[in-house]
């Protein structure tokens, strides 16, 4: 990722969020959600600011950030492909879908491509079991997939900017 | 109030939204305006109808015509034919595969999928627009809260709940009334109510559907619980993976605040109650109540030993009632219609109804709500419509990663908390995944272990280390390197983990392995002794062979990337097992379908 996401503007937003949540009980999780939203990740620089302003040890904040799978230390690619590995999808062949996507994008599960275009994740059940197997690309959901659908979906985002 | 002669209900649940329901809704609105019908026909976005398989779903009232898998090109026909000319578009109606009569079912109330159901928790889902509080109120909404606040004392409320025999729908099955009583009796000025909406079991989505389709009933129920135990603040802890549910609950809370159904001095009774949404961040263990508390407090979501129970020491150290979404969903109706009404469904020890999420190899995937005591067979074959593609039923997995598998022999079992536990599975949150004869049970057990290893929080050793070792043994077996000693070790370790883990996650994690070992031992033995996977799923144990019937067309030979197939034109072909890389490229090429994995 070449793009600088640790901009001054983002830090101003972060300060505002922390000030707004400071006085509530148990403010850390809501602040981390907002931080993840602002920066696309919660790297150590961001954690330091939260630590100072909340007067909470950095180690504790790092512990929380790394515990939850939705918080990341590094930003994800432009298109996050999430393949549901819930039971219903798995039973209906989600593993083959993952293999095919990895093959077509050249990115392994849990990794981001070198150009920052794709990140691939095996996600938890997204609750669209009626459409199994399912995958999401950012906000778009694709259901009732067969292996033949995959090249078209990948191509759609490869071409897009 | 405006009067409309017809209503078009468009499902706005996650399943249908994923298959394009919002576009369909917009097209209906546009088409109605274009035809000048928008003053006569109203389009309503509702919650989930349950039959996600057939989505996007639209229902046209007053006829109750059930249009399924509606595509964009169908909208204009429905508007032209049905809404303008009054002729139901029969070829777009849902085809009821399970119906005994050959007639097309013209009304949703005739569809087999719904006939055997009894909708209590899901009563309003797919009926009202969840984003409009007036619609909820029109369906008796907030009447139960009114009744509790004006006609009942907190003790009356608790007694009614105890009498109803309602048991927690999140998995534990603990009596809800007792939980409320303990919390109300715990000393302390400040108490909390919490709603556990961290629905993490893969394959279960009833909580999401309730929050999306009927969010006000959760608000009403939490307010009733707060009144009963003496709390003034409620937290809903909800998965961040459910954006639509989060949004609709947020809208509902804002509307309730505005109407004075939340806030200070509710309905002039002097009772104050406010609610806050807290988001999870992708940790399965946070569905465990003490871990959920830690997460709300802003810590790593790790469980702690009980006692003290949340009823004594919960959120921020204060006594807390934590109930699951589906549990809350039935509370208003119990208060309004009475405990006796509720106990008229279900079994003696498990009264009421339960929502199940049917998934996997089953025709009608979706949500079903049935009275407790209904048999597995009725759910899977009558309501669920049986197994697709002419395959054979093999097992049903209930209770997600904490549950177990049940076989054909158990199909007549009436479903309730105690019968499922007695068979080595559990109710859990109500996920029900059906598998057919093409699924390998050893691989299935491995899949669940893979999940628990990933989600184990790491606090206690049996769960952190034990599940990992179990997974390694299962991987050894599915790759063909297992021994009979491994099976014994696997079982021994499973019981050790069950006995010694700190929380529910670890205590139930070995269940998928134990139940498959119990009912499908022959499959384990086939993997270990014969080095075969009977279902043909474990790649390492498969070989691709050409069986009788080869016509020598050479199609397979040409596609093989490693030249493992030999044979002359019009002669039998053979696959060299030493060379074959099991890519399977030859299988679809064979015109006679005689290349098989076995």
Q: Does domain B133-343 have CATH number 3.90.1150.10?
A: no
Q: Is residue A93 located within the same domain as residue A38?
A: no
Contact in structure between B462 and B497 (CB atoms under 8 Å): yes
Q: pLDDT tens across B388-427, in order?
A: 888 999 999 998 888 899 999 999 999 999 999 888 888 8
Nearest by CB to A69, from B208, B283, B433: name it: B283
Task: Note whether A152 and A87 are same-domain residues.
Answer: yes
Residues sharing a CB contact under 8 Å with residue B189, sequence separation 6 or more, in sequence order: none
Same domain, A56 and A89: no
Structural domain contains residue A73: no
Which residues from chain A sit within 8 angstroms of residue B14, using beta carbons?
Answer: 126-128
CATH of the domain at A124: 3.40.30.10
pLDDT value of residue B99: 57
What count of Cα atoms within 13 Å lies in the side-chain half-sphere of residue B151?
8
CATH number of B441-530: 1.20.1440.230
**pLDDT of residue B97 exceeding 80:** no
Distance CA B432, CA B403 (A): 10
- The alpha carbon of residue B100 is apart from the nearest alpha carbon of chain A, in Å, by 24
Structure tokens given for B596: 């098989």
Give me the interface pTM, i.e. the ipTM: 0.84
Across the interface, of B19, B280, B296, the residue whose CB is closest to A26 is B296
CA distance, residue A69 to nearest chain B CA (Å): 5
> Does some domain include residue A34?
yes
Q: In which residue are the tokens 């009356």 written?
A: B156
Do B353 and B210 meet the contact criterion of CB atoms below 8 Å apart? no
Q: Do A92 and A52 share a structural domain?
A: no
- Checking if the pLDDT of B10 tops 80, the result is yes
Q: How many CB atoms lie within 10 A of CB B1?
A: 4
B288 touches chain A (CB under 8 A): no
In angstroms, the separation between the Cα of residue B431 and the nearest Cα of chain A is 10
DSSP E strands in B400-497: the ranges are 404-407, 431-436
What is the per-residue burial (b if ≥16 Cβ within 10 Å, else e) of A88-119?
bbbbbebbebbebbbeebebeeeebbeeebbb
pLDDT tier for residue A1 given thresholds of 50, 70 and 90: very low
Of the pLDDT bands very low, low, confident and very high (cuts 50, 70, 90), residue A2 is very low
Find out whether A42 and A35 touch, Cβ atoms under 8 Å: yes
pLDDT at A87: 84
Per-residue pLDDT at B282: 87
A32 within a domain of the structure (yes/no): yes
What confidence tens digit (pLDDT) does each residue in B290-342 have? 999 999 999 999 999 989 999 999 999 999 999 999 999 999 999 999 999 99
The DSSP result for B257-306, as a single string, is: HHTTSSEEEETTTTEEEEEEEEE--S-GGGGSHHHHHHHHTTS------S
Same domain? A25 vs A88: no
Co-location of A60 and A19 in the same domain: yes
Helix (H) or strand (E) holding B499: helix B484-500
pLDDT digit string (tens) for B378-390?
Answer: 999 999 999 988 8
DSSP B537-560: --GGG--EEE-TT-----HHHHH-
Token output for A59: 């180690």
Determine the Cα–Cα distance for residues B565 and B543; give it in Å rounded to an integer: 13
Interchain proximity A124–B433, CB inside 8 Å: no
- What is the percent of chain A where pLDDT is above 70? 97
Q: In the CATH scheme, what architecture does the domain B6-115 have?
A: 3-Layer(aba) Sandwich (3.40)
Taking an 8 Å cut-off on Cβ atoms, the answer to whether B365 and A130 are in contact is yes
- Residue ranges covered by each domain of chain B: 6-115, 133-343, 353-436, 441-530, 543-597
Percent of chain B with pLDDT over 70: 98
A86 pLDDT band (50/70/90 cuts)?
Answer: confident
The residues that bridge with B354 in the sheet, in sequence order, are B370
Distance of alpha carbon B388 from alpha carbon B97, whole angstroms? 11
The answer to whether B447 contacts A87, with C-beta atoms less than 8 Å apart, is yes
With a cut of 80, say whether residue B2 has pLDDT above it.
Answer: no
- Which positions 392-411 of B are in contact with A (Cβ < 8 Å)? 397, 400
What residues in A contact B240, CB-CB < 8 Å?
A: 33, 70
Inter-residue contact B385 to B362 (CB < 8 Å): yes
Does A49 reside within a domain?
Answer: yes
Q: Report how far residue B85's alpha carbon sits from residue B74's, in angstroms, rounded to the nearest whole number.
A: 15
Dihedral-angle region of residue B171 (phi above 0 means left; psi in -120 to 50 means alpha; beta otherwise): left
Domain enclosing residue A34, as ranges:
8-67
- Residue B477's pLDDT band (boundaries 50, 70, 90)? very high
B303 neighbors B212 (Cβ within 8 angstroms): no
Asked if residue B109 has pLDDT above 80, the reply is no
Asked whether residue B482 carries a pLDDT value surpassing 60, the answer given is yes
B597 by Cβ neighbours in 10 Å (0-12 / 13-18 / 19+) ranks as: middle
For residue A122, the cross-strand partners are A83
| A57 and A22 in a common domain | yes
Number of domains in chain A: 2
CATH top-level class of B543-597: alpha beta
Say if CB B353 and CB B121 are below 8 A apart. yes
Are residues A86 and A54 located together in one domain of the fold? no
**pLDDT (tens digit per residue) in B227-279:** 999 999 999 999 988 888 999 999 999 999 999 999 999 999 999 999 999 99
| Gap between the Cα atoms of A135 and A132, Å rounded | 9
Average confidence (pLDDT) over B185-196: 96
Which residue of A33, A60, A87 is in closest CB contact with B281?
Answer: A33
d(CA B112, CA B378): 11
**pLDDT number for residue A57:** 96
How is domain B353-436 classified at the architecture level of CATH?
A: Roll (3.10)
Same domain, A127 and A150: yes
User: Do residue A109 and residue A154 come from a single domain?
Assistant: yes
Report the distance separating Cα B5 and Cα B63, nearest Å: 11
Q: What is the pLDDT of residue B541?
A: 87
CB-CB under 8 Å, B15 with A130: yes
Put simply, the answer to whether A132 touches B359 (Cβ < 8 Å) is yes
Examine the pLDDT at B98 and tell me if it is beyond 70.
no
Please report where in the chains the tokens 């003696």 appear, as a residue: B348
Tell me what pLDDT residue B78 has.
Answer: 94
A141 contacts: CB under 8 Å, gap ≥ 6: A126, A128, A131, A134, A135, B17, B18
| Largest interatomic CA distance in chain B | 91
pLDDT of residue B577: 87
Which B residues 205-264 touch A at CB under 8 Å?
A: 205, 208, 240-242
Window from B266-270, B361-365, B470-474 with minimum mean pLDDT = B361-365
Read off the tokens for B516: 């498959």
Q: What are phi and psi of B320, to 5 degrees?
A: -140, 135
Average confidence score pLDDT of chain B:
92
- Output phi, psi for B100, to 5 deg: -85, -30
Please give the Cα distance from B153 to B180 (Å, whole number). 14
């Amino acid at each position: 990722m070449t793009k600088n996401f640790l901009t001054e503007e983002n830090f101003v937003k972060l300060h505002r969020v922390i000030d707004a949540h400071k006085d509530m009980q148990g403010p850390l999780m809501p602040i981390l959600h907002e931080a993840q939203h602002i920066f696309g990740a919660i790297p150590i620089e961001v954690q330091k600011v939260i630590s100072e302003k909340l007067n909470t040890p950095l180690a504790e904040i790092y512990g929380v950030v790394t515990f939850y799978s939705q918080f990341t230390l590094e930003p994800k690619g432009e298109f996050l492909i999430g393949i549901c590995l819930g039971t219903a999808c798995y039973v209906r062949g989600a593993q083959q879908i993952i293999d095919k996507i990895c093959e077509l994008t050249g990115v392994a599960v849990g990794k981001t491509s070198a150009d920052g275009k794709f990140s691939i994740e095996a996600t938890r059940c997204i609750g669209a079991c009626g459409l199994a197997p399912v995958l999401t690309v950012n906000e778009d959901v694709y259901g009732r997939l067969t292996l033949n659908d995959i090249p078209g979906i990948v191509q759609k985002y490869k071409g897009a900017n | 109030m405006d009067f409309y002669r017809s209503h078009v209900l468009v499902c706005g649940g996650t399943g249908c939204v994923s298959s394009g329901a919002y576009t369909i809704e917009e097209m209906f609105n546009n088409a109605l305006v274009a035809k000048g019908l928008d003053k006569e026909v109203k389009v309503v976005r509702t919650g989930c109808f349950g039959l996600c398989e057939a989505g996007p779903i639209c229902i046209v009232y007053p006829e109750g015509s059930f249009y399924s898998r509606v595509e964009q090109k169908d909208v204009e026909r429905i508007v032209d034919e049905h809404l303008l000319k009054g002729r139901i578009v029969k070829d777009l109606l849902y085809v009821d595969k399970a119906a005994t009569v050959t007639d097309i079912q013209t009304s949703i109330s005739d569809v087999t999928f719904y006939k055997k159901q009894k909708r209590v928790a899901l009563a309003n889902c797919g009926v009202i627009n969840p984003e409009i509080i007036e619609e909820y109120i029109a369906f008796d909404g907030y009447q139960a809260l009114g009744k509790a606040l004006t006609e009942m004392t907190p003790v009356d409320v608790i007694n009614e709940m105890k009498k109803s025999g309602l048991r927690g729908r999140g998995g534990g099955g603990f009596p809800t009334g007792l939980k409320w009583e303990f919390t109300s009796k715990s000393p302390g000025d400040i108490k909390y109510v919490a709603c556990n909406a961290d629905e993490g079991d893969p394959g279960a989505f009833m909580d999401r559907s309730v929050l999306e389709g009927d969010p006000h009933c959760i608000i009403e129920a939490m307010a009733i619980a707060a009144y009963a135990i003496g709390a003034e603040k409620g937290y809903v802890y909800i998965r961040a993976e459910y954006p639509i549910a989060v949004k609709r609950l947020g809208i509902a809370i804002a509307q309730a605040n505005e109407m004075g159904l939340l806030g200070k001095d509710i309905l002039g009774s002097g009772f104050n109650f406010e609610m806050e949404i807290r988001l999870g961040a992708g940790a399965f263990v946070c569905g465990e109540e003490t871990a959920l508390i830690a997460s709300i407090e802003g810590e790593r979501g790790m469980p702690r030993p009980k006692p003290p129970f949340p009823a004594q020491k919960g959120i921020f150290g204060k006594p807390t009632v934590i109930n699951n979404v589906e549990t809350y969903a039935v509370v208003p109706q119990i208060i309004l219609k009475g405990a006796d009404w509720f106990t008229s469904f279900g079994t003696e020890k498990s009264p009421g109804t339960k929502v199940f999420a049917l998934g996997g190899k089953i025709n009608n995937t979706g949500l079903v709500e049935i009275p407790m005591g209904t048999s597995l067979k009725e759910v899977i074959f009558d309501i669920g419509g049986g197994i697709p593609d002419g395959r054979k039923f093999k097992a049903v997995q209930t209770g997600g990663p904490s549950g177990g598998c049940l076989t054909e022999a158990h199909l007549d079992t009436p479903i309730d908390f105690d019968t499922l536990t007695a068979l080595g599975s559990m109710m859990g949150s109500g996920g029900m995944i059906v598998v057919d004869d093409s699924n390998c049970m050893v691989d299935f057990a491995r899949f669940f272990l893979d999940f628990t290893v990933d989600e184990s929080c790491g606090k206690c050793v049996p769960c952190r280390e034990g599940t990992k070792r179990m997974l390694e043994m299962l991987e050894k077996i599915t790759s063909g390197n297992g021994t009979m000693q491994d099976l014994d070790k696997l079982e021994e370790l499973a019981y050790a983990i069950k006995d010694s883990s700190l929380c529910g996650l670890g205590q139930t994690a070995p269940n998928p392995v134990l139940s498959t070992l119990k009912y499908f031992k022959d499959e384990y033995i086939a993997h270990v002794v014969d080095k075969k996977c009977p279902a043909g799923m474990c790649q390492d144990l498969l070989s691709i062979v050409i069986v009788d019937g080869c016509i020598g067309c050479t199609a397979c030979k040409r596609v093989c990337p490693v030249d493992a197939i030999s044979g002359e034109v019009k002669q039998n072909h053979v696959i060299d097992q030493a060379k074959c890389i099991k890519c399977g490229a030859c299988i679809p090429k064979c015109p006679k379908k005689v290349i098989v994995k076995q």
